[in-house]
Amino acid sequence: MTAGDLVYSDGATQTFYADGSTRYLEAGRESEGTWSIDENGDFRSFWPPSYRASYRLQWVVENGEVVGLRFSDLRTGARFDGRYQ
């Protein structure tokens, strides 16, 4: 998670920190939240004051090299790919 900043297809960026905090920047607006990995290996995020989400994580691999992360929403199935900057 903390290997580098992720850039999403819409240009938003996200940084994950080892202390469990995260920063998301989209269209000049910044928000801060927290992240964790649960006992099943799923990714959990919390964005104050009340938004919570759960995702299955997969590496994005190209030519045998990890280039990003894929987040698959456990509730809706929506997918978001972030590429390491």
Its pTM stands at 0.87
Q: What is the pLDDT of residues 23-79, one digit of tens each?
A: 999 999 999 999 999 999 999 999 999 999 999 999 999 999 999 999 999 999 999
CB contact set of 58 (below 8 Å; sequence gap of 6+) = 69, 70, 72
**CATH number for region 6-84:** 2.40.128.640
